[in-house]
Structure formats: C-alpha cells, structure tokens
Structure 1
Amino acid sequence: MNHRIRAATALLILTWPLTACGGPGGAGPFERCVPEESSTASSAELEGSYEGSLEAKGTRLVLTTRPGVAGGTLTVENWPTGDSFRNELGPAFSGTGTWEITRPSGSEKSALLRLHFDPPKPDLPTPDTIDLLSIGVDAKRTFLYDNTDPDTCPDFRLQLQRK
C-alpha cells in the first residue's frame, strides 16, 4: 500500500469521530448522524411517528397534518422538560398540542419545527421544555433534533419511522 494512502487512511480513521455528526452515535465517516438542516421541509414530509434515541430514548412524537394548514396536531409520550442549556433534562410528560414549520427568514438558513403543547402545562419543577427542533431530511431519513451545537452530533434526536 502506498505510504500516502496509508497516511490518509489513518488520518481519516483517527479524525472521523470528531467531525460534525460522525463518530459515536453517528452513521460513519461518510454519512452524517442526522441529515443536514432543511430549508424546504413540508408538512407532508414530516407527518408520521418519531422514535427518540440517545437523550431522547423512550420519547415518542406523532405528527399529523390538517388540510390547508402548514402543520397540524401532535401527541408526545415521555417528552422531557427542562431547558436545552442545562446539562440534564428534567422529568417527562405525555400530552397533545399543535405544530408548525417556521420558514427561514433573515439570518436563519433553515426551517424549524415549533411545538405548542396544550394546557394544562406539565405540573413539574421545570416548566420549560424543548419546543423548537431542527429538521433534517435526506433521501433515506428524516430527523427532528435539538441542534445545540452544529459541530457535534445532536444528543436529543427523533427519527421518523418508515412504514
């Protein structure tokens, strides 16, 4: 094997876990752990049942659309409370609400999924919760995730379950 090829291969193997969305919990050195953020995601593309992984393990989100509305209704199970800037998320709740896609404007480059939970609000010590998620869509996968650091793979992510 050529010395340059060996060096390049070793460099790739040593650095791929440190790149955005590669490495532990990621899909490998050539595929991001979640697709790039979308600026054009549609309500129809997002409709369905999502299962969480990593920090969102055990979390479920079901999105349904309503005719003529850019969004629809939602149902959550084991949805965590707590601010995204804290090290740990708080207790979880189950409930319903609505959702919408916020389109990019100004300095924003991608669409976001905004969740609105129905009252009564969870009666928990931390009333805040994750209610704004990045949307990642590629040819094979759809993810909703809390994009706290674009240089790392998101720990709170949900994947659309394909039928």
Structure 2
Amino acid sequence: MHHRSQRTRRSVAAVAALAALAGSLTACGSDALERCVPEESTTAGAAQLVGTYEGLLKAKDIRLTLTATPGQNTGGTLTVDNWPTGSFHRSGLGEAFTGSGTWEVESGRPPNSRSLLRLRFEQPELFLPGDTLDKLSIGIDAKRIFVYDNSDPDVCPDFRLKLRRN
C-alpha cells in the first residue's frame, strides 16, 4: 500500500509540472478570449486600421497614427513618436525617432495567408526596408485591434500597439 501512494504522489506531481510547463509555452493562450493579442488576421483591410495606436510593454511610450488616403483603400500616411531606430541609423538618430511616411496592408500569401502592416518611413530620412521595425502583424477580434512584432508566434509579443478607441 505504501508503495502505491508514493507512486501516485509522484505521478500527480509530474502531471502538475507538465501542466505548468505547457501553460508557460502557450503564453498567448489557446482560447481567443485569453489571448494577449488577437490572432493574426487574414482579411484585415486598411479602413479597419485607421486611427492612433498606443504602445504596450516594450512599445511603451510609442505612438503610431495611421491616416487613410482618400480614394485609396490599401493604405495612407503615418506618423510615429518614439519609434525604435534600427541599428544602421542609431548613431545619427539615437535609440528612437519621431517621423512620418506611408503605410499599406500587404495581403497574405499562402500557406498562412496572414496580412501584414507595411510601414515606409520617409522622415526624418528615407529608411530602406529592414532599417527599422517596418512589418507588423495585424490582430483583430470583436473588441480589439493590435499591430505587433510577431517574431516568435509561440510567445506573447512584447512589442505591441493597441488601437485607441475614442
């Protein structure tokens, strides 16, 4: 009898440890209601994204404003405050910059077909693709719209901006 209860305790402890590990691996949660950001959208449209986004966590104090260009349904103009400077421009601009440019929604391509927000910075100087963070995932659910850096889909993104509701 003593043998069985000790084995049962070890089994329960092992199951608890595995459950804790599994919970930490899926930091965003599997249920849409538990996710830190909505799942990546495959149908995001430019009209949905217009507005001002406030940064959270690593994006704290960052603001991104997207404005639509009349007659164009794929994008428009943008302004940013405290946007992270890529390493190529850091010596001239510092760790962050305030600037402007254009944006567009890039339709997803198979196999995952997820839409991306593509940013093109023109001020304070022309940034080439990849000079700074210029591609963001788009997450939309019934209550929230986020744009975020989805560098690791298994981990809740630290760099995320939420559309401010007026």
> TM class by shorter-chain length?
0.7 to 0.9
RMSD of the alignment, in Å?
2.8
The letter for the 1-side match of 2:102 is T
Tell me, yes or no, if structure 1 residue 35 matches structure 2 residue 66.
no
More helix by share: 2
Identity of aligned residues (%): 60
Task: Tell me the amino acid that sits aligned with residue 142 of structure 2.
Answer: A
Flag structure 1 segments of 5+ consecutive residues without an equivalent.
1-6, 23-27, 84-89
Residue in structure 2 matched with residue 18 of structure 1 by the alignment: 25
User: What's the TM-score once normalised by structure 1's chain length?
Assistant: 0.77
Larger radius of gyration: 2
- Opposite residue 35 of structure 1, the aligned amino acid is P
Aligned pairs (5 A) from 1:6-155: 14=20, 15-22=22-29, 30-69=33-72, 70-82=74-86, 91-121=95-125, 128-155=131-158
Rate the CA distance shift 1:37–1:73 in 2: closer, same or farther, 3 A: same
2:6 corresponding residue in structure 1: none
In 2, the alpha carbon distance for the partners of 1:82 and 1:144 equals 18
Residues 66 and 92 (structure 1), Cα distance of their counterparts in 2 relative to 1, 3 Å cut: same
Structure 2: how far apart are the matches of 1:29 and 1:160? 18
Q: 1:122: Cα distance to partner?
A: 7.6
SS at match of 1:44: helix
State the alpha-carbon separation in 1 of the partners of residues 70 and 141 from structure 2.
24
Q: TM-score normalized by structure 2?
A: 0.75
Q: Is the contact made by 1:59 and 1:76 (CA closer than 8 Å) also made in structure 2?
A: yes
Describe the SS at the equivalent of 2:139: strand
For residue 118 of structure 1, what is the amino acid of its counterpart? E
Whichever residue aligns with residue 135 of structure 2, its letter is L
* Structure 2 contact 146–163 (Cα < 8 Å) conserved: yes
Q: What is the CA distance between 1:64 and its match in structure 2? A: 0.6
The size of the alignment, in residue pairs, is 143
SS of 2:47's partner is helix
